[in-house]
Chain A
């Protein structure tokens, strides 16, 4: 009797551990509170939605996906500690963070552990440091900013430009590339304004823009600050056209800034308003599950998980050590893996090549004005 009980207990234990071993563990570290809460919450929800879909269809190579979410509090120091903790649990792939500053301090940890890190940061320098384990989910600034500068010069016909940027890795990176490109094209930067992350009052900055009287204003801040400056630009009656990136015309910014967002334009690598059927379907699923329209960070989180799926299926096995090598140079077609939404190619540095969009906010809605094709 005693031996039967023991055998039963052992069997139960073995079954439990084998079920546990079958799941593929992913670790996510994101900005779930603090200044980047909009970024992190969208990213996390995108991940959860993708995992739910994949698991409902039987998982990856017959194994379910599991994810743990940790909060970086939008603070690079906390992000580093959380990533270290996540890596100690030996995940298959690390997802996040979304802020470039947090990615910068955590990337060496993941590289040292030999774990691929799929993140949301857009600072140019992130993929230029020779890290073989870091992958983007969106354009880096070195890909997007030249397109932005060209649009300001060619389409907006701006001879003078005011550049407002947030004084962190993300803002500085974008500012450096765009100022260089504007200079090369012959548009003069008449105001170069650095602002602080989390800044509430933009009256003085907008006052300076007004005094410089530029033909166009390039705004490169995080989402909440973008909304505040849009309101202040409207309040002080600045009429120069506004150009930015995803962070100027995202859904959350439109919601926060209200009618002050109308007329703002931005180059967008990812938008839920893209005229792409798979993205429309994603937007519908996301909105249904979370009761709000996601911004591009929701798409990034979703894509990150499908990058894991497509790469793993390409390898034909779950091998964390070979993951990064397989993803380098890989082209994933939406026809083969609908979850990837648009055809995408990953370079040897972890940068991406994909089509992008030129968007304008019209009556509180993102309207895609141009589709810019994939480079290669």
Chain B
């Protein structure tokens, strides 16, 4: 029983990070029909930006700020202007393929300019335990979960409770009408790219101390978050959050109770089941598009 509790906590902590990344998937999809297959690499890169800042002599807190700012410029602004905008005109598929190429490009660049070897990365949460319901739970798990929940709460508050959030939703739901009523649609789309970049940088900060900074670490994350977004519902932020947490827990339980070798297969099987029986995702909305 104590084992199950530990597995649930660890699964939720990992799942919370998946959720952050999956939310980014849904945000970009909703506002600009972008499926970003480089999302995993977007999580890997900020850690290296922070490490580069630290190597240049910056203290950890400054490196975090610089890393997040640089990520927002590179993975938000530059990504939108240099890749999404020019490719969007050619349709969703060419853009998706371009993001795959970007993923390879980022990975190889990190390998070339940094190292193919893993590097250690400091944790923002101190090591140690606290007792919850008689169980020792690591501060790191609590910290990861806490920061991720705060980020998600902040985002949902922004989207649902502020004028800016309403404008973003309007731009996502019907850009033409939004434009007519005076919503600066382009600026709203850019904002979602910046928010996505902020979320992946945050995910990077939380996951890298555990997974280590390595050029290839985005592969697993990107895939898990993509599955989480589809399982939860690609067009719903709350779906992506639920999907992330679910996949995190499922992955850990599968590793413990099925087999480590088949752990990667279990979320996949779950994904296939969702696509077959509830294609809009667990919390998603059915959507129709003209083809």
* Contacts A/B (CB < 8 Å), 12 sampled: A32-B116, A33-B116, A37-B116, A193-B260, A200-B220, A201-B252, A204-B251, A205-B255, A207-B3, A208-B3, A224-B118, A235-B138
B61 within 8 A of A: no
Beta-carbon contact of B127 and A235 below 8 Å: yes
How far is it, in angstroms, between the C-alpha of A114 and the C-alpha of B191 when the chains are bound?
Answer: 64
- Contact bitstring A181-207, B, C-beta under 8 A = 1, else 0: 000000000000111101111011101
Which among B84-92, B98-106, B157-165, B207-215 touches the partner chain? B207-215
How far is it, in angstroms, between the C-alpha of A252 and the C-alpha of B120 when the chains are bound?
Answer: 10
How far is it, in angstroms, between the C-alpha of A231 and the C-alpha of B261 when the chains are bound?
Answer: 21
Since A37-B115, A228-B212, A236-B6 are in contact, a sample of 11 more A-B pairs with Cβ atoms closer than 8 Å, ordered by chain A residue number, is A194-B260, A203-B7, A204-B255, A205-B260, A207-B7, A210-B6, A227-B118, A237-B129, A256-B119, A256-B120, A260-B127
- Contact bitstring A232-264, B, C-beta under 8 A = 1, else 0: 101111000000000000001001111110000
- Residue in chain A with minimal CB distance to B258: A204
User: Which 8 residue pairs are nearest across A and B when measured between Cβ atoms?
Assistant: A203-B10, A204-B255, A37-B116, A211-B3, A33-B116, A204-B256, A235-B138, A200-B211
Interface residues of A (CB under 8 A from B): 32-34, 37-38, 41, 167, 193-196, 198-201, 203-205, 207-208, 210-211, 224, 227-228, 231-232, 234-237, 252, 255-260
CB contacts (< 8 Å) of B209 on chain A: these are: 231
B32 within 8 A of A: no
CB contacts (< 8 Å) of B115 on chain A: these are: 37
- Contact bitstring B216-227, A, C-beta under 8 A = 1, else 0: 110010000000
- Residue in chain B with minimal CB distance to A201: B14
Interface size on B, residues (CB 8 A): 38
- Residue in chain A with minimal CB distance to B138: A235
CB contacts (< 8 Å) of B117 on chain A: these are: 37-38, 41, 252
Nearest-neighbour CB distance to chain A for B275, whole angstroms, equals: 24
B232 within 8 A of A: no
Beta-carbon contact of B116 and A207 below 8 Å: no
Beta-carbon contact of B211 and A228 below 8 Å: yes
Q: Is the interface of A mostly helix, strand, loop or mixed?
A: helix
How far is it, in angstroms, between the C-alpha of A38 and the C-alpha of B13 when the chains are bound?
Answer: 29
Beta-carbon contact of B210 and A228 below 8 Å: yes
Beta-carbon contact of A203 and B3 below 8 Å: no
Nearest-neighbour CB distance to chain A for B195, whole angstroms, equals: 26
CB contacts (< 8 Å) of B290 on chain A: these are: none
Beta-carbon contact of B6 and A256 below 8 Å: no
Beta-carbon contact of A256 and B118 below 8 Å: yes
CB contacts (< 8 Å) of B111 on chain A: these are: 33
B46 within 8 A of A: no
B136 within 8 A of A: yes
Beta-carbon contact of A195 and B6 below 8 Å: no
How far is it, in angstroms, between the C-alpha of A37 and the C-alpha of B212 when the chains are bound?
Answer: 14
- Residue in chain A with minimal CB distance to B13: A203
- Residue in chain A with minimal CB distance to B259: A194
How far is it, in angstroms, between the C-alpha of A204 and the C-alpha of B248 when the chains are bound?
Answer: 11
The interface centre, meaning the residue of B14, B127, B209 with most chain A CB atoms within 10 A of its CB, is B127
Beta-carbon contact of B3 and A210 below 8 Å: yes
CB contacts (< 8 Å) of B11 on chain A: these are: 203
Partner pick for B263 among A33, A38, A204, A210, CB 8 A cutoff: A204
How far is it, in angstroms, between the C-alpha of A236 and the C-alpha of B138 when the chains are bound?
Answer: 6
CB contacts (< 8 Å) of A34 on chain B: these are: 116
Beta-carbon contact of A196 and B118 below 8 Å: no
Q: Which of B30-48 contact A (CB under 8 A)?
A: none
How far is it, in angstroms, between the C-alpha of A224 and the C-alpha of B116 when the chains are bound?
Answer: 12
CB contacts (< 8 Å) of A33 on chain B: these are: 111, 116
B140 within 8 A of A: yes
Beta-carbon contact of B6 and A207 below 8 Å: yes
CB contacts (< 8 Å) of B6 on chain A: these are: 203, 207, 210, 236
B141 within 8 A of A: yes
How far is it, in angstroms, between the C-alpha of A193 and the C-alpha of B6 when the chains are bound?
Answer: 17
Instruction: Knowing A41-B117, A207-B7, say if A237 contacts B138 (CB, 8 Å).
Output: yes
Nearest-neighbour CB distance to chain B for A150, whole angstroms, equals: 28
Beta-carbon contact of B116 and A201 below 8 Å: no
CB contacts (< 8 Å) of A257 on chain B: these are: 120
Beta-carbon contact of B127 and A207 below 8 Å: no
CB contacts (< 8 Å) of A211 on chain B: these are: 2-3
Beta-carbon contact of B261 and A201 below 8 Å: no
How far is it, in angstroms, between the C-alpha of A122 and the C-alpha of B141 when the chains are bound?
Answer: 36
How far is it, in angstroms, between the C-alpha of A259 and the C-alpha of B136 when the chains are bound?
Answer: 20
- Residue in chain A with minimal CB distance to B4: A207
CB contacts (< 8 Å) of B116 on chain A: these are: 32-34, 37, 41
How far is it, in angstroms, between the C-alpha of A38 and the C-alpha of B214 when the chains are bound?
Answer: 12
- Residue in chain A with minimal CB distance to B115: A37
- Residue in chain A with minimal CB distance to B117: A37
How far is it, in angstroms, between the C-alpha of A207 and the C-alpha of B5 when the chains are bound?
Answer: 9
CB contacts (< 8 Å) of A255 on chain B: these are: 120
